[in-house]
Amino acid sequence: MVIIVIKDILNIEKIFSNNEYFGTNVWTEEKYRVISGKKEILLSAPHSVNQFRIDDIRNAEKYTGSVVKYLSNKLDLYGIYEIFTHADPNNNEENCLYKNAVINIVNLFGIKLLIDVHSSTFKDDTDIDIVTNLRQTLCGKENIIEDLKFIADKYQLKIDENNKPNKEKAYEVIGITSSMCNIPAIRIVFNNKSLDFINNPEKAEKVVMFLEDFLSNYEI
């Protein structure tokens, strides 16, 4: 099982790692790709390739796009991910094509849950950080937090709930989606060390199994 998951993820990651994580090696207006599904859950990976943020380049959050693509296909979920470097969808611009696409998918296909997948460098050994802007983006579905914590414990993963929203939280993918569509929208941030399929494959596999378990058993 471990070998299969790792092989699949590493093969998918080639889509994003092309051209040093700038994505496709020719300029394109195509900012994202969408996966069609049957279960009304949308997985999102807005930082799967490098992003422009004002005058800086924000590094890609490696493997987030691969995890979204892998689980969307395996579980027949909807998915959206960046495939070429453009402006950061999680910035403070309200009119963003990626965020507009998320809203359109939610409305068109009756999506009931958004999981926005990210990774970051943590200061401690926590594996997973849950961001809901002080539970505002849960739209009353606070049981989701306990479900995530229960499943994380099942796979011996350390999980924490982030209680410090970003300053521009209203313009982020989860903020816009929850407020405009009235569905729970959660940003799940994985520790880079825990999502390293080359140097930490067993932990990375547990991370994928954790998310797969939650998505498979989530009741619409």
Strand bridging mode 185-191 / 113-120: parallel
Residues paired with 78 in a beta bridge: 42
**Residue 26's pLDDT is what?**
58
Of 20-24, 39-43, 44-48, 89-93, give the lowest mean pLDDT range.
89-93
Residues paired with 117 in a beta bridge: 188
Q: How many angstroms separate the CA atoms of 211 and 220, rounded?
A: 16
Residues 6+ apart with CB under 8 A from 31: 82, 83, 84, 86, 97, 98
pLDDT, tens digit, 9 for 90 and up, residues 54-108: 778 888 899 999 999 999 999 999 999 998 777 777 765 656 889 999 999 999 9
Torsion of CA 194, 169, 66, 120, to 10 degrees: -30
pLDDT, tens digit, 9 for 90 and up, residues 5-38: 889 999 999 989 988 888 765 556 667 899 999 9
What radius of gyration, in Å, describes the C-alpha atoms of the chain? 16
Model confidence at 169, in pLDDT bands (50, 70, 90)?
low
Model confidence at 176, in pLDDT bands (50, 70, 90)?
very high
**Could you give the 3-state DSSP secondary structure of residue 170?**
helix
- Could you tell me which CATH number the domain at 2-217 has? 3.40.630.40
Parse the chain into domains and list their residue ranges: 2-217
**What element of type H or E holds 188?**
strand 185-191
**Residue 25's pLDDT is what?**
58
Mean pLDDT of the chain: 90
